[in-house]
């Protein structure tokens, strides 16, 4: 019948202590208590005191309960007076939390408005689709002094200039998704038919991971993303590389055969900008004919990214990834701009960091790696269009050719 008050207190203390400590940890890449940009920092500066207040209030209440349990346990005392309360005390206990909450409400409301600024020089369209994100840089934007004169379409890795506010215009092609880079800002839903804005800014170069956070169907867990912040100079190089003219692989190489295979097998959905067929006509992808949501990742510069398929499978090895993620802000950009060729000797013929396994498995049988709706017998509702990439039945030789070709998409 005896309750140990200390055990209760200890539980309460551990939980509260947990909250406090969580604020100091810097160990998970998506730690919301570790802001890396002004928007997230603004949220953090409000969130932290609220946690502390909640912790203190919690300790007081639980302390009172623990004390009452210890003090008033049945030791044979009289039946207490049958009093029905004390209105004055109760009114006080109503007003007190009201005052605390008012204290929280005022900065909350002001911050709701301050986080909602909508003007910017650098605007990026962010479009969600089952199960990956597409970014296109709005023509006419000026991002960190770099003018975007040609549209750039990229996937999963959102490259932004550091120390520069960027405005994301978020929408969706199919179901509701939610764009979230915890260390840079809170999340914002991507709702089809609506266009929501979210500001983003990173203090320093680096990679900031994120995840789609609105349940979006079968492969919701495998819809990830990252924001990569680069110095203005590095960003300029990145933009230049993204908008560079297409170069065909050298004739006679596997990659050159790969180009033909790519046109035959992949290009009906996947765009590679500048690609022309044998007759010299531009090869334009038509994902709207095959994919229900109407788009497929643009592969023009695939090898400049570090992961693919909704940022789920790495294009670089684990060691390289760890090394890249832990680069200092000063050296990060140089490594990142090498894409899968990072940390390779200058004269290397093969990229040291390239993780071939994932890409090959994916080309062999994508739905086995990431659940998607590609079973032709179950596509009646979407008129035969898939949701995700189907298994194409490629031979090993074809896969070799395509990988060789894709390796040059850097």
Interactions with another protein, residue window 321-360 (CB under 8 A): 321
294 counts as binding another protein under rule CB under 8 A: yes
- What does DSSP say about strands 157-161 and 224-230: parallel, antiparallel, or unpaired? parallel
Nearer to another protein, 206 or 258 (CB): 206
12 counts as binding another protein under rule CB under 8 A: yes
With contacts defined by CB under 8 A, name the span among 128-136, 259-267, 353-361, 401-409 that binds another protein. Answer: 128-136
Reading the block at residue 106, the tokens are: 């005022």
Measured distance CA(314)–CA(358) in Å, rounded: 7
- Decide: helix, strand or coil at residue 347: coil
Q: What are phi and psi of 5, to 5 degrees?
A: -65, -30
241 counts as binding another protein under rule CB under 8 A: no
279 counts as binding another protein under rule CB under 8 A: no
270 counts as binding another protein under rule CB under 8 A: no
- Min dist. Cβ of residue 271 to another protein (A): 8
25 counts as binding another protein under rule CB under 8 A: yes
- What does DSSP say about strands 307-308 and 146-147: parallel, antiparallel, or unpaired? unpaired
Nearest one of 390, 386, 375, 394 to 264, comparing CA atoms: 394
244 counts as binding another protein under rule CB under 8 A: no
Nearer to another protein, 257 or 311 (CB): 311
- What does DSSP say about strands 132-137 and 152-155: parallel, antiparallel, or unpaired? antiparallel
Residue 53 CA, distance from chain mean position:
30
252 counts as binding another protein under rule CB under 8 A: no
Query: Judged by CB under 8 A, how many residues of this single chain contact another protein?
Result: 141
Q: Do 382 and 253 touch, CB atoms closer than 8 A? A: no
Measured distance CA(212)–CA(305) in Å, rounded: 18
219 counts as binding another protein under rule CB under 8 A: yes
88 counts as binding another protein under rule CB under 8 A: no
Nearer to another protein, 182 or 249 (CB): 182
Within residues 147-176, the interface with another protein by CB under 8 A covers 151-153, 167, 169, 171-176
């Amino acid at each position: 019948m005896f309750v140990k008050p200390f055990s209760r207190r200890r539980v309460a203390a551990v939980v509260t202590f947990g909250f406090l400590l969580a604020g100091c940890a810097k160990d998970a890449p998506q730690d919301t208590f570790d802001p890396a940009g002004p928007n997230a920092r603004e949220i953090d500066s409000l969130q932290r005191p609220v946690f502390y207040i909640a912790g203190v209030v919690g300790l007081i209440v639980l302390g009172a309960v623990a004390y009452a349990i210890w003090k008033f346990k049945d030791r044979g005392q009289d039946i207490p007076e049958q009093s029905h309360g004390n209105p004055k005390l109760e009114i006080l206990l109503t007003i007190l939390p009201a005052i605390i909450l008012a204290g929280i409400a005022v900065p909350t409301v002001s911050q709701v408005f301050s986080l909602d600024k909508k003007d910017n020089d650098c605007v990026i369209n962010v479009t969600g689709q089952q199960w990956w994100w597409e970014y296109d840089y709005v023509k006419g934007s000026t991002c960190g002094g770099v003018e975007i004169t040609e549209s750039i379409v990229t996937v999963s890795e959102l490259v932004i200039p550091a120390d520069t506010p960027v405005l994301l215009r978020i929408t969706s092609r199919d179901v509701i998704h939610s764009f979230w880079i915890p260390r840079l800002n809170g999340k914002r839903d991507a709702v089809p038919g609506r266009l929501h804005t979210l500001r983003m800014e990173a203090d320093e170069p680096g990679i900031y991971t994120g995840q789609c956070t609105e349940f979006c169907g079968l492969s919701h867990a495998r819809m990830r993303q990252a924001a990569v912040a680069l110095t203005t100079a590095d960003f300029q190089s990145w933009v230049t590389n993204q908008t560079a003219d297409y170069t065909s692989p050298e004739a006679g190489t596997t990659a050159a055969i790969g180009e033909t295979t790519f046109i035959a097998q992949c290009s009906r959905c996947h765009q590679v900008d500048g690609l022309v067929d044998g007759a010299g006509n531009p090869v334009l992808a038509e994902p709207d004919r095959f994919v229900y949501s109407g788009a497929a990742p643009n592969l023009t510069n695939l090898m400049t990214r570090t992961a693919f398929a909704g940022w789920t499978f790495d294009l670089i090895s684990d060691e390289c990834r760890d090394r890249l993620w832990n680069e200092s802000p000063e050296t990060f950009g140089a490594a990142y701009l090498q894409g899968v060729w990072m940390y390779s000797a200058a004269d290397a013929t093969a990229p040291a960091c390239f993780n071939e396994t994932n890409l090959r498995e994916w080309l062999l049988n994508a739905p086995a790696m990431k659940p998607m709706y590609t079973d032709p017998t179950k596509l009646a509702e979407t008129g035969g269009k898939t949701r995700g990439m189907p298994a194409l039945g490629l031979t090993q030789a074809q896969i070799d050719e395509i990988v060789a070709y894709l390796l040059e998409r850097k």
